[in-house]
Amino acid sequence: MKYPTTPDGRYFVVAGRLWRTSNPDLAPDLRQQLVDELMTARRQVGAAKKAGDADAERAARAAVDAAKRALGERGPVWWTDGALDFNRRMVANTPYAQWYAGLG
């Protein structure tokens, strides 16, 4: 498993850090539209950096953030049970530590 997903499906782990997954309740068409917007914005970040255009890079990064928020990967959590958000935290410092250690 390249990037293990927590048992509750809220996060995946990269290099020991938790990253919030997209909202699984998004309609498939909407999810794909948002992913397409995210990938376009990421390409625009790269092009702006290559061109040395700080204003375009700032706008592209804002578009990345907007897409990630719409997907539920940033901003308010998409779950409704009141559980805390551990996005971007090291898994070893969260309630997922034992689960992760057990992956071997």
Domains of the chain, residue spans: 1-21+80-104, 25-72
Pick the more confident residue, 2 or 85: 85
Question: What is the predicted pLDDT for the residue at 104?
Answer: 79
Side-chain-facing half-sphere of 62: CA atoms under 13 Å: 6
**How far is Cα 41 from Cα 78, in angstroms, rounded to an integer?**
22
Q: Is 57 left (phi over 0), alpha (psi -120 to 50) or beta?
A: alpha
Residues 57-71 have a mean pLDDT of 98
Please name which of 80, 73, 66, 97 lies closest in space to residue 21, comparing C-alpha atoms: 73
- 26-38 pLDDT per residue, tens: 999 999 999 999 9
Q: Is the pLDDT of residue 1 over 70?
A: no
Cα end-to-end span (Å), the chain: 11
Q: Please name which of 29, 28, 18, 35 lies closest in space to residue 70, comparing C-alpha atoms.
A: 35
Range 71-95 average pLDDT: 97
Q: What percent of the chain has pLDDT over 90?
A: 97
Instruction: Using DSSP, state whether 17 is helix, strand or coil.
Output: strand
CB 13 within 8 A of CB 91: yes
